[in-house]
Structure 1
């Protein structure tokens, strides 16, 4: 397989996935923020909360439509760009995607119309129920997608069938309750809640600075600050759980994101700074905090975190053992009744995928030299410098959000938006400027998960370079350019619609007329 085709196929999928993931987190978070706001309306009966809910529901609807459209395109790529992937693992990978479509997507589609058009046709409780079902459907959709993605990271509940030469489901409950999938789900949806909270906080802050729609803005700001604080705390806690899952299931990814080249005495320290080098296979100018990594990743003072060199040595052993499984499979292709070959396969089948890594260097893995095996073993190391810094940016933003939401919640609940000392206005301006940051953290999280899995399409089972379709470079560039132009146009439309809805503001009569601007260009924040 031409490696240019592989890299372009990866680029195209990355572009469509990253683009799709611009809309998903906001949908996940806004859906439950709407549930909170409408619940307050149902409990208090105050019309202002109905206005608040309908305003943010309008922005949710704009974002929801584009999220659905881009998600459908992304799923089609498994058949067009990754046809061998679909053939080899489709029986397993396709099941969660099918359930996502039948259960979650249809659930959302059924209730989203009632949510938008049923305000005057349903009772308060009935409409709140529809809003909750939309939120539930959105999050169930994320669950099944992440079950599929989690299986790619940790392929449990499956086995290779030498009769069909494909992977098949052996335990669907193991696929569903995959620890990596569960950790990814709770971490991802919490990140979506943070994203939506920052968005609501920023837009509300802009209204307050301009003196517009103050009644709506204060309530929205307070809800977003409280929800965001809880969500940002959960992101960090659940991120720690994801790190713990890596210790057992994706040791190489953990070693790469920490740039840990050699196994350290337990408990290992965590690097807060360093300059990793793939060429030198070392990390220069490293600054470490003792014990922290060992405590996070093993929950003990004695647990060991494996280094890259040691993991490469283990990969080399698995490749050598996998060659035996590959030889057995080739014999079973000729004679399915060859019991000696079947017995040899059963002994070594867990390492068959590692033997397939050799196909990048030699046509027949059984003819591999020790040098080929060594190169294949080192190919299991992802891009360490990228992993190292992407993780630190993502984690740094996570801790920043905790501090920012804490300050915002204190200002809204304790100080009551008292801006006499200037702190309030500084925080409100900052809330507007940090709106893009959650998306940066989320996209970096996706990069960390997917780059960290390389060179595997399915961890330990199917190398990425074997998973792609037989396409040409010209075909891939044509579709990449086409998708970029179409998605670029959709992005402009999305942003213009969102900005127009924000400028128009809520359709209600509670807010006072805009206050005159002060010397700084911002209006004073009036009391309600």
Structure 2
């Protein structure tokens, strides 16, 4: 097989996925924040909350449109660049993908239209219901996609059929309630809530620095800081759950995240920082936190976390077991009607390791002819590149701690200091706006890059999943997608900046009781500002 085709296909999908996810978290978070603001408007009847809802709703609409455009293109790639993957696991992967389109996308898109054009046509209560349906639809969309992705991380509810040579669905319930998928869903959605909260916090801080739209800005900070603090704390808790699931189901990924080359005595320490050296198989200048990794990965003080070297040896044994399954499979394929019961039993006994034997297809057409050196090389291939995963995880965690500190500071300042924010804090909030997207992209690098060399973990190697395309075709489509997505991203940024600079159309003055109470706490200079 042409490794250039494999790597270019991976690069193209990574590029489109990471671009698409620039729009997703803001859509998830803003939809809920807008629904909260409109709920307050319906309950209080104050025009300022209607103004806030419509203003942030405009920014949501821009982002939603761009997200749809990039998401539709990305889905076509399963048939374009990953046709064998679609054939091999389409029976399972296609179900949540179809539900995402039929249930979530149409629900979301339909009610987005009603929300934007229904302000003067629906009652306040009916329009509020629409706002919450938009938020629910956005989250449902994420649910089905993450169920599909979670199955790729931890394939359950399916089995390989030796007659059709495909994976087939055996339990949709197991696929839907896959623990990895559920943990990924709540973790990803909470991260989207943090992204929107930091965005609202930063834009509102910019308004306060400019002395514009003070009523909108102060209330938006109140909502964003409280909602964002709760979301940021939940990301940590749910991230811990994801770490535990990774320790159960993707041991090599967890070892790579930790750059843990050798099995550590229980409970394993957490490597806070270090320099992974994959060639030497050691982590230089490592600083450890005792017991932490053992608690995260196993939730015990007695259970070991296997290291990369031990897992590589286990992979070699699974490759040898998979070769037994592969040999039995070839026998079944040669004579489907007169297959010996013993051959079928042998295949079933070793079928869980068939995917490991398929790793050898990168080096030769018939895995049964593999030498010990080729088996050792295939086993080494199960080790992902450690340093990108190691550092991506630590950047993500470090930024997560920063989000807790920032939202916590603004929450305390709002609650106990009457919203008297120092200028340094406002400037910092503005500068922090891009950080949640960086954290989200780092999270996806950990999740997807850490799964290599598998498209479906332990089942289908990435090198076997691609379509029969040429390098030239991939380079052309990669350039086209990169250009298209970059244009959309530039349009998104320009539109967001345009409407942020413009501010709300119907500005509301500081005239109500809330503002009168808080203006009394401000200095004369702050009031003039």
Q: Report if aligned partners of 1:276, 1:284 keep a CA contact under 8 Å in 2.
A: yes
Q: CA deviation at 1:526?
A: 3.1
Query: What residue number does 1:389 align with?
Result: 391
Aligned pairs for 1:161-240 (under 5 A) are 161-240=161-240
Q: CA deviation at 1:282?
A: 1.2
Residue 484 (str. 1) matches residue 443 (str. 2): no
Q: CA deviation at 1:512?
A: 6.6
Residues 455, 524 of structure 1: alpha-carbon distance in 2 compared, 3 angstrom cutoff: farther
Aligned pairs for 1:136-151 (under 5 A) are 136-151=136-151
Aligned pairs for 1:359-438 (under 5 A) are 359-419=361-421, 424-438=422-436
TM-score (norm 2): 0.96
Q: CA deviation at 1:492?
A: 1.4
Gaps of 5+ in 2: 512-523
Q: CA deviation at 1:340?
A: 2.5
SS in 2 for 1:74: helix
SS in 2 for 1:457: strand
Query: What residue number does 2:446 align with?
Result: 448
Tell me how far apart the structure 2 counterparts of residues 490 and 349 of structure 1 sit (CA, whole Å): 45
How big is each residue's C-alpha offset from its partner over 1:324-355, in whole Å with a ceiling of 9 and x where there is no partner?
A: 10001111111123123211111100000000
Q: Report if aligned partners of 1:211, 1:526 keep a CA contact under 8 Å in 2.
A: no
Q: Report if aligned partners of 2:322, 2:351 keep a CA contact under 8 Å in 1.
A: yes
Q: Report if aligned partners of 1:209, 1:525 keep a CA contact under 8 Å in 2.
A: no
Q: CA deviation at 1:297?
A: 1.2
Tell me how far apart the structure 2 counterparts of residues 364 and 526 of structure 1 sit (CA, whole Å): 78
Q: CA deviation at 1:453?
A: 0.2
Aligned pairs for 1:7-406 (under 5 A) are 7-336=7-336, 337-338=338-339, 339-406=341-408
Deviating 4+ runs (over 2 angstroms): 523-528
Tell me how far apart the structure 2 counterparts of residues 334 and 148 of structure 1 sit (CA, whole Å): 33
How big is each residue's C-alpha offset from its partner over 1:198-239, in whole Å with a ceiling of 9 and x where there is no partner?
A: 000000000001000000110011100001000000011100
Q: Report if aligned partners of 2:213, 2:507 keep a CA contact under 8 Å in 1.
A: no
Q: CA deviation at 1:511?
A: 3.3
Tell me how far apart the structure 1 counterparts of residues 473 and 394 of structure 2 sit (CA, whole Å): 36
Q: Report if aligned partners of 2:363, 2:374 keep a CA contact under 8 Å in 1.
A: yes
Tell me how far apart the structure 2 counterparts of residues 317 and 263 of structure 1 sit (CA, whole Å): 18
How big is each residue's C-alpha offset from its partner over 1:149-169, in whole Å with a ceiling of 9 and x where there is no partner?
A: 000000000000011110000
Q: Report if aligned partners of 2:51, 2:504 keep a CA contact under 8 Å in 1.
A: yes
2:499 aligned to which of 493, 498, 501: 501
Tell me how far apart the structure 2 counterparts of residues 11 and 410 of structure 1 sit (CA, whole Å): 44
Q: Report if aligned partners of 1:252, 1:308 keep a CA contact under 8 Å in 2.
A: yes
Tell me how far apart the structure 2 counterparts of residues 4 and 327 of structure 1 sit (CA, whole Å): 29
SS in 2 for 1:272: strand
Tell me how far apart the structure 1 counterparts of residues 528 and 47 of structure 2 sit (CA, whole Å): 18
How big is each residue's C-alpha offset from its partner over 1:375-395, in whole Å with a ceiling of 9 and x where there is no partner?
A: 111100011111111111100
Q: Report if aligned partners of 1:214, 1:526 keep a CA contact under 8 Å in 2.
A: no
Tell me how far apart the structure 1 counterparts of residues 284 and 436 of structure 2 sit (CA, whole Å): 30
SS in 1 for 2:527: coil
Q: Report if aligned partners of 1:210, 1:524 keep a CA contact under 8 Å in 2.
A: no
How big is each residue's C-alpha offset from its partner over 1:252-278, in whole Å with a ceiling of 9 and x where there is no partner?
A: 000000000111111000001111111
Q: CA deviation at 1:527?
A: 8.0
**How many residues were matched structurally?**
515
Tell me how far apart the structure 2 counterparts of residues 83 and 243 of structure 1 sit (CA, whole Å): 31
Q: Report if aligned partners of 2:62, 2:492 keep a CA contact under 8 Å in 1.
A: yes
Q: CA deviation at 1:524?
A: 5.8
Tell me how far apart the structure 1 counterparts of residues 528 and 392 of structure 2 sit (CA, whole Å): 43
How big is each residue's C-alpha offset from its partner over 1:282-312, in whole Å with a ceiling of 9 and x where there is no partner?
A: 1111111111100111111112111111111
